[in-house]
Structure 1
């Protein structure tokens, strides 16, 4: 049994993987930690497997790097594969475009030792943007998996959907196996679909089973964000896609008798936000990105009860 596993789900990430793997090779203060690296190829069509094979000979003899293939498309399936294959209880997930600082593993493992009731631990994720952004773009940061909650550890508030992201996240395998269903309702972005939030779904199941969700500021990483992910059309699609699972996520920890009230509250609350937003910004919604971005999220939230019904009927087939 190892102390720690770093798991990297990737889809056509051959150009990005070397940066992440180099950061892992440069980790410090790991002399007393036994750890491994797992790369889960989520049905890539590029030379991802060759990149991993090349790095297998570069890593230290004390640290192995393993390659696994997951043909079923979707980040949820890739993470499940990593959970099954990991040889440790603590699994640190990194997206293939997230670069950890040199003490990421040691900071993560130390926090796990002092917080045994933590089912999941998120860290600071800073933005590494390809282009310079105006200050008002900070409204968009949380939707780009950027998390900066200060310099002190804190407990997240799952009931308010205040949660970390799996872009850089440590999960207890024990907590996952006890809490998360074999198949999630949300599978992650596949093809042209922008709807994700499968990371929130699994975290809500972990929280529902009595585990804590923590923020550890010592786990720092940088999310590399290319210019095309900051274009208006992409951001507006992302915003609505993030809003669509809202009602479904709220129902995970709700009792059955609470769900009809949540249905009504979600519709009325979203309607109110849309109306107030249109009154506040008037014609600026068409011209300015941030008001348009916010409005798309409100529309997604408004539609989320109906999207939840769609998910239910789809998964019953």
Structure 2
């Protein structure tokens, strides 16, 4: 049996060659305004760096007064997800906050998240809003594609019909930003007990930008019965180096998003259309017909051509739908297999939850 963690916040930082980025990130953490009764810690996981990140991170933390313990670990297996798995296992407290090595939390971030999660035990994942900071002035086109950099308010919705959520509340459509994301350890424990296996490795170094693990975690937590919430008062600054502010970098991000679509669609089908049985071929045929009609509509084609002819960088965003259509065909077998795998995990989690509830009732 996996025992519950005590109340508190474990800040999880995974880094690859992040020595230069870590200093301001840790300085902002050291300035956190946390109530005397709120326990917290920092866990720093090195994912195969070659720049002495752990030692430099510890030196920076000591220089800033070591307000709480900072524990360091090495995960030599490449991939952010592998580093996070280790951090989840080592976390001492019930609320975990995933902080990238280029995220600067506002001073009340941890306390605000702790307070809300303590009051609302149905929340499995909690996210906030981000703003950008830049090594060099951002290009003029940045504002039009800022969301692919996880800057601004996330596109999350609530209610029926869905309305964009800009105040504190439950998310019914979409997922919050992965940067600064809180996750309840109980939700993670239930996922692992249900044999959850991520379909992603996460970002690997600087060469492979494949992401999707943040969205996957949100969808998985929702599938096992927890809620996703948005709290705009949770604010952080996402720092970007000049190498990420080029027209060569943007297509790489968009391409990585297109590659994640097929895997995430297994979760989306179970979250948003649970009554449709995708173990049957006809369900996939109908989806393919719908995606084809939407992708190649006259309106979409005209918009894409106009943006492309103008040289507007937004044509890359419009073009993502064509990658998505292509990946639907190429990844069909894998997507169907993933759907069945995720559905089995969800069913195991439901059975575990029922068994746990029955045991609690029997103990009363």
Provide the rounded CA distance (Å) in 2 between the counterparts of 1:190 and 1:271.
Answer: 35
Provide the rounded CA distance (Å) in 1 between the counterparts of 2:197 and 2:11.
Answer: 22
Provide the rounded CA distance (Å) in 2 between the counterparts of 1:190 and 1:61.
Answer: 29
Provide the rounded CA distance (Å) in 1 between the counterparts of 2:334 and 2:310.
Answer: 32
Per-residue CA distance 1:48-68 (angstroms, 9 max, x = gap): 021123135345565100101
Per-residue CA distance 1:280-303 (angstroms, 9 max, x = gap): 242541552433212331123113
- Which residue is 1:296 aligned to? 319
- Which residue is 2:189 aligned to? 177
Range 59-68 or range 213-222, more displaced: 59-68
Asked whether 1:231 is paired with 2:246, we answer: yes
**Alignment partner of 2:248: what SS?**
helix
Asked whether 1:92 is paired with 2:101, we answer: no
Asked whether 1:189 is paired with 2:192, we answer: no
Deviation at 1:133, TM superposition (A): 3.6
246, 258, 266: which one aligns with 1:243: 258
- Which residue is 2:175 aligned to? 163
- Which residue is 2:231 aligned to? 216
- Which residue is 1:272 aligned to? 294
Provide the rounded CA distance (Å) in 2 between the counterparts of 1:61 and 1:53.
Answer: 9
**1:50-89 aligned within 5 A:** 50-58=55-63, 60=65, 63-89=68-94
Per-residue CA distance 1:138-164 (angstroms, 9 max, x = gap): 342221122415752122234xxx101
**Alignment partner of 1:245: what SS?**
helix
1:286–1:46 distance in 2 versus 1, CA, 3 Å: farther
121, 127, 131: which one aligns with 1:122: 127
Provide the rounded CA distance (Å) in 1 between the counterparts of 2:248 and 2:129.
Answer: 27
Provide the rounded CA distance (Å) in 2 between the counterparts of 1:42 and 1:264.
Answer: 42
1:122–1:2 distance in 2 versus 1, CA, 3 Å: same
Provide the rounded CA distance (Å) in 2 between the counterparts of 1:279 and 1:120.
Answer: 39
| TM-score for the superposition, normalised by structure 1 | 0.88
Larger C-alpha radius of gyration, 1 or 2?
A: 2
Range 224-233 or range 253-262, more displaced: 253-262
Range 111-120 or range 275-284, more displaced: 275-284
Per-residue CA distance 1:117-156 (angstroms, 9 max, x = gap): 110100111122332343x543422211224157521222
Q: 5+ unaligned residues in a row in structure 1: which ranges?
A: none
Range 51-60 or range 68-77, more displaced: 51-60
1:62–1:238 distance in 2 versus 1, CA, 3 Å: closer
Q: How many residues align?
A: 311
1:38–1:31 distance in 2 versus 1, CA, 3 Å: same
Deviation at 1:308, TM superposition (A): 5.7
Query: Do 2:138 and 2:245's aligned partners in 1 also have CA atoms closer than 8 Å?
Result: no
Range 40-49 or range 206-215, more displaced: 40-49
Range 40-49 or range 281-290, more displaced: 281-290
Range 177-186 or range 69-78, more displaced: 177-186
1:267–1:196 distance in 2 versus 1, CA, 3 Å: farther
Asked whether 1:203 is paired with 2:229, we answer: no
Range 23-32 or range 99-108, more displaced: 23-32
Q: 5+ unaligned residues in a row in structure 2: which ranges?
A: 1-5, 155-164, 342-364
Per-residue CA distance 1:194-226 (angstroms, 9 max, x = gap): 321011112111100010011111211010122
**Alignment partner of 1:68: what SS?**
strand
